[in-house]
Amino acid sequence: MELKRVVVTGLGAITPLGNNINDYWNGLINGVSGADMITLFDASKFKTRFACEIKGFEPTAYLEKKEARKLDRFTQIALVASDQAVLDAAITKENVNTDRVGVIFASGIGGLITFQDEIINFAKGDGTPRFNPFFIPRMILDIAAGHISIRHGFRGPNFAVVSACASSTNAMMESFNLIRLGKADIILTGGAESVISQAGVGGFNAMKALSERNDDAKTASRPYDKDRDGFVMGEGTGVVVLEELEHAKARGAKIYCEIGGCGATADAYHITAPHPEGLGAKNVMNEALNDAGMSAGDIDYINTHGTSTPLGDVSEVKAIMDVFGEHAFQLNISATKSMTGHCLGAAGVIEAIACIKSVVHDIVPPTINHFTDDPELDPKLNFTFHEAQQRTVRAALSNTFGFGGHNACVIVKKYI
């Protein structure tokens, strides 16, 4: 069976750098930090009091007030970004068969804010079970996929994927595979996460995973810096429209780029720590290259998982060196989490969009907030510190790794 080719025909995003694709991309290439003090709740007693929040998002500007009240924040942003992507891809009921348009959409945690608030309200009461009838439908992490399909009338494959911080990359992989096997013509895919809350920040603080650089929030996310002290929590969503090539051409769709290949592996090592030698990361990059029928020398840019954690950054770079060898010194490497923070289950698609835009515009976004070289990292590697760099980007690789040892990788390349 000959596999079909899959291209990208639409994009949507709401991130800490902007509430649409253009603002997000401009923030990236201009090296803007999305970090600031938390406004979504009173964080004054928390060890970490800052995050990369979405700014200026008012759901009722996009959704009916009654509808918005029924939705957790992660679903609200997912719906708005899906509207952007559908418009960008010029999808209409007249130019597609909606029975063959699917939605595969991820979240690492789902409606944590809803869950937290409902349990707090219950605990304050007299024990009588008074719960909002939308408690469960707001909370479950598959509900964004359901709402997107309902909103647009898409009746193709529809489900959620969860693999912690690798979730939305795995969603892209599932979508890619279904389309190239002929199971769908178009799939809206990606992920959304919004857990900047008492439970979210408190939980990650308890794990000692978050930066506590409260006196310098803007520069707290420091991938590859010797003094990095943990990740900065972000929130956001990204939606990518994947489409079978001949279907896209037949309806005259704009084509951003082609999906080259994907990979998924496990560390089988630890529930939170990465394999110290980056074994799972090495395997997933090799799998994606093999899937794409590409060699290491075909890749020009890697958007790394690059969370700004002491262990994670080093192990990923070790894996890159193992996979790419001498070609590693010809790569541009950058960690856009230095600007967006770590958007958890949505990180993969948000960073894949950065790769897509890099392939389209031949610009690599920077890694900001670098002050001190880490002696464990080879200084000859090009981490794209401080400023974006113009170069030909034939193909870009995006890495995402999740708690539980989940590794996922997607390669995007110029459409020829």
One of 147, 152, 247, 305 is an active-site residue; which one? 305
Residue 156 included in any domain:
yes
Residues 290 and 232 reside in one and the same domain:
no
pLDDT at residue 229 in the model: 96
Residues 405 and 310 reside in one and the same domain:
yes
Residue 367 included in any domain:
yes
How many domains are contained in the chain?
A: 2
Residue 147 appears among annotated catalytic residues: no
Q: Rounded distance, CA 353 to CA 362, Å?
A: 13
pLDDT at residue 1 in the model: 76
Residues 349 and 243 reside in one and the same domain:
no
Give per-residue pLDDT as tens, 324-359.
999 999 999 999 999 999 999 999 999 999 999 999
Tokens at 161, concatenated: 């994927």
Q: Rounded distance, CA 281 to CA 261, Å?
A: 15
Residue 165 appears among annotated catalytic residues: yes
Could you tell me which of 382, 291, 282, 278 has the C-alpha nearest to residue 328? 382
Q: Rounded distance, CA 329 to CA 243, Å?
A: 34
pLDDT at residue 40 in the model: 97
- Given 250, 285, 313, the domain boundary residue is 250
Residue 282 included in any domain:
yes
Residue 61 included in any domain:
yes
Q: How many CB atoms lie within 10 A of CB 153?
A: 10
Over 90: is that where the pLDDT of 198 sits? yes
Residue 1 included in any domain:
no
Q: What is the extent of the structural domain holding 274?
A: 262-413
Residues 138 and 230 reside in one and the same domain:
yes
Residue 301 included in any domain:
yes
Q: How many CB atoms lie within 10 A of CB 132?
A: 14
One of 52, 165, 343, 409 is an active-site residue; which one? 165
Give per-residue pLDDT as tens, 50-89.
999 999 999 999 999 999 999 999 999 999 999 999 999 9
Could you tell me which of 311, 162, 169, 168 has the C-alpha nearest to residue 231? 311
Q: Cα dihedral angle (272, 276, 281, 283), rounded to 10 degrees?
A: -120
Residues 134 and 45 reside in one and the same domain:
yes
Q: Strands 36-37, 101-106: parallel, antiparallel or unpaired by DSSP?
A: unpaired
Q: Rounded distance, CA 259 to CA 165, Å?
A: 21
Helix (H) or strand (E) holding 19: none
- Greatest CA separation found in the chain? 66
Residues 184 and 237 reside in one and the same domain:
yes
pLDDT at residue 248 in the model: 98
Q: What is the mean pLDDT of residues 209-225?
A: 98
- Three-state secondary structure call for residue 230: coil
- Three-state secondary structure call for residue 402: strand
Q: Considering the chain, what is the average pLDDT of its residues?
A: 97
8 A C-beta contact, residue 329 and residue 149: no
- Given 250, 281, 313, the domain boundary residue is 250
Distance from the Cα of residue 270 to its chain's centroid: 22
Residues 24 and 151 reside in one and the same domain:
yes
- Given 222, 250, 278, the domain boundary residue is 250
Residues 319 and 237 reside in one and the same domain:
no
Q: What is the mean pLDDT of residues 380-389?
A: 98
Residue 303 included in any domain:
yes
Residues 53 and 95 reside in one and the same domain:
yes
Report pTM.
Answer: 0.97
Q: Rounded distance, CA 246 to CA 409, Å?
A: 25
E-strand stretches of 130-231? 158-161, 186-193
Instruction: Write the CATH number for 397.
Output: 3.40.47.10
Give per-residue pLDDT as tens, 159-192.
999 999 999 999 999 999 999 999 999 999 999 9
Residues 349 and 241 reside in one and the same domain:
no
Residue 343 appears among annotated catalytic residues: no
Q: Strands 301-303, 395-402: parallel, antiparallel or unpaired by DSSP?
A: parallel
Enumerate the H helices of 325-346 as residue ranges: 337-340
One of 147, 152, 275, 342 is an active-site residue; which one? 342
321's CB contacts (< 8 A; 6+ apart) are: 328, 378
Tokens at 210, concatenated: 């978050």
Residues 285 and 245 reside in one and the same domain:
no
Residues 246 and 305 reside in one and the same domain:
no
Residue 256 included in any domain:
no
Give per-residue pLDDT as tens, 362-374.
999 999 999 999 9
* Cα–Cα distances in angstroms (integers) from residue 212 to residues 23, 137, 194, 288, 309, in the given order: 28, 34, 20, 35, 12
Length of the chain measured in residues:
416
What end-to-end distance do the CA atoms of the chain give, in Å?
Answer: 22
Q: For the stretch 91-120, what's the b/e string if a residue is b when 16 or more beta carbons lie within 10 angstroms of its beta carbon?
A: beeeebebebbbbbbbbbbbbbbbbbbbee
